[in-house]
Amino acid sequence: MSNSNFDRYSESYSMHMAKSLRIGGEESDYYIRYKILDVKRYAAPSLESDTTQPLQILDFGAGTGSAIPHWCSIFANAKLTCCDVSRQSLEYARSRHGGDITYTHTGETNLPFQTSSFDLVYAACVFHHISESQHPLVMQELWRVLKPGGALMVYEHNPLNPLTQYVVRSCPFDEDAVLIWPSVMMNLLKSSGFSERTTCYRIFFPKLLRRLRWLEDWLGWLPLGAQYFSLGWKSTGTG
């Protein structure tokens, strides 16, 4: 999707998202918050050992900033930077959330950040909007801006899940989305220099079956969840 199209949806993003996710029975905030909680659980423990310095977090493709309240509540002492190709979306995020947050407009493949700037980079449902030919360039930039020992957490829709396919088809700002197979994402992490990599599948039960969600901790290996995350680590021996 072009920058102008993202700009076009900046003020109606939440409404369209809510309509698309109605099939699962949850508000969009549920799907946003679980991701940030996953970051806290799977990536943060090894990153928060130095309590003298705030965790430097980059939300890559932050859009209208819907994750900001959850970043602020779950990572209260972190320093958050939100970047996006849509300047209008970032301005909308700034007007809604403000706070001690950095908002940075970026190009398609070049990030205006110094090498080794962030402890954690987070990209939720961003890569399926980026042309496949640009994936290696974008991933290499994310690797570059990470500190040695830092983590990249990428969330994507699972192409194997039929409900996910339906949600994507029904969402107007996903009109250009090309879903990415987990194995492709893992290979992309590997070829970009991430030394440790793992994939975990998420979201197996709609609200109607929420009493079964305690099982999800044991189902991360099962490739049927609505979404998945790929987690990669930058070796401490690199810069």
98 domain-assigned: yes
CB 201 within 8 A of CB 169: no
How much is the mean pLDDT over the chain?
87
pTM: 0.89
45 domain-assigned: yes
The residues with which 102 forms a beta bridge, in sequence order, are: 81
229 domain-assigned: yes
Which residue type sits at 227?
A: Q
pLDDT at position 13, please?
A: 44
**Spatial separation of the C-alpha atoms in residues 74 and 69, rounded to whole Å:** 9
CB 23 within 8 A of CB 167: yes
CATH of the domain at 164: 3.40.50.150
36 domain-assigned: yes
Q: How many Cα atoms occupy the beta-carbon half-sphere of 79 within 13 Å? A: 10
DSSP letter at 100?
Answer: S
CB 194 within 8 A of CB 238: no
193: exposed, middle or buried (Cβ count in 10 Å: 0-12, 13-18, 19+): middle
Which residue type sits at 175?
A: E
Question: Residue 184 sits in which domain range?
Answer: 3-234
DSSP H helical ranges for 28-161: 28-38, 68-74, 87-97, 135-145
How do residues 10-42 score in pLDDT, each as one tens digit?
Answer: 444 455 454 455 555 678 889 999 999 999 999
239 domain-assigned: no
pLDDT at position 71, please?
A: 97
25 domain-assigned: yes
Inform me whether the pLDDT recorded for 173 exceeds 70: no
**If DSSP codes are grouped into helix, strand and coil, which group holds residue 33?**
helix
How do residues 136-169 score in pLDDT, each as one tens digit?
Answer: 999 999 999 999 999 999 999 999 998 888 777 7
Instruction: Return the percentage of the chain with pLDDT > 70, whole number.
Output: 86
* Tally of CB atoms within 10 A around 234: 27
38-64: average pLDDT: 89
Number of structural domains in the chain: 1
pLDDT at position 120, please?
A: 97
**If DSSP codes are grouped into helix, strand and coil, which group holds residue 56?**
strand
